[in-house]
Structure 1
């Protein structure tokens, strides 16, 4: 079984609860346990062990004691059922890193582990809960200072101070762009950097003799009936090789704006055999998960020359 290294981006629009504050909340809790789904998930984050990266570990605890295995007995194959003892549990794991400046990250995933998009939904949920808790605390503080309950208008104005949204999206290959864009309700804008400045581009650029890079942004009409045509046009434009990288702002069916970042990149940023990776984890103390060599491997992938066009240039923008 393969363990793939996938790319994603995460950001917060508004300064009410930053990524650093969110991951510090996780870190201070030691382990955040979420049992709202069929399987329990445990989240571990570290914000201090590396100057440039947040480190994370997602552990999915399976709600089962029995598991099956195939054995060769007397020249024939048999299915045997084993049973875990005591408090032992089956689990799946996902290691991840997030660059503290760019919000770009790498996420290890394999079949039956927590998917990257599901992980993003958890981040959004806890970011929302933390915003609400801070807003409620501020309302309580102001009511105490004033000696009486606040009006609903005052409460709403305080909550607006904590209204920023967490944005989470996978990094997208140009070849997959059209299908992904069509999944959203609306395409709001398309921003891209030219891969090179040819004669036609320079001719349409003010002060072209002094320009080394050019970034353009297109904003689209709000009519959702144009969505498929816009998705097809953006996909065709990126396939033509004109943009070096880009970003499409889409709106989902809940009305939330999401940035879809486009790169000329591989389907994944590395593949490792599951058995070899699992062997490295034997005896890992999750309280010190951040010291494991897996994070050195992820950081090496992130900072490699091979992927500099994806991760490195973001630091310069």
Structure 2
């Protein structure tokens, strides 16, 4: 009997965090920090599934202490902490989506309490973050507000009006590789999806989004998008995605473990330890010797029903 009770107690303690306390607060939240982690459980030791950038809309579903269970654009039933978000009701969420915004175009900078580099820093501000536009630029500065409504200032050179940014996106093979190379040396982190750190699919998704194309978040989803291309150096083009992992067998499904971007000249650029360029031939520098699972071409297949969206046809971060 005692052993049975101990087993039951252990089972209760191991119940997944998905069984969250009900949440009767605002049903929406918007990421209010430069990026926030999205974890599997309400615990800092839990696995990190992804990151969401400032301005991303989340649906709030549950609570556990200071953690909130949310649905994000690419994930369901993940957890973040309450101080990383601004809570909103339906009207507040709709107002945020409709508000005129700036997007951060600097890789890493800050928002300031006053229009001066000597002023107190409000928070860090990274590539792709969104803030509400409050006033026209003045003397090299723009007055903005975070999703929480906190007023602050950004340097004019660090931001661009979101609508202008969306319209200016160009997705060419050359632009994809130029964008990817900007992040060389960025550290790898599982679940990383910001300029601070990338995992492999977070890197490919971020690069494509900077060029105006929204991919699914995970490599296991990205491999089913676009057009299948033979693994042939004469046929592959810069920007094609090459996938690695374990092929399917009669008993086990395919496992996609890694994705890289082909950059021409028999080389790939990918996030593996750091964002780096590797050779696909044994005599090249930093030879990447894993056998590929397949190759997918993204360009030419935007909004064709294969899971690839333009930033113009998908509400931004929502």
Q: Is the helix fraction higher in 1 or 2? A: 1
For Structure 1 versus Structure 2, the TM-score category normalised by the shorter chain is under 0.3
- By relative contact order (CA 8 Å, sep 6+), the higher-ranking structure is 1
What's the TM-score once normalised by structure 1's chain length?
0.25
What's the TM-score once normalised by structure 2's chain length?
0.25
Larger radius of gyration: 1
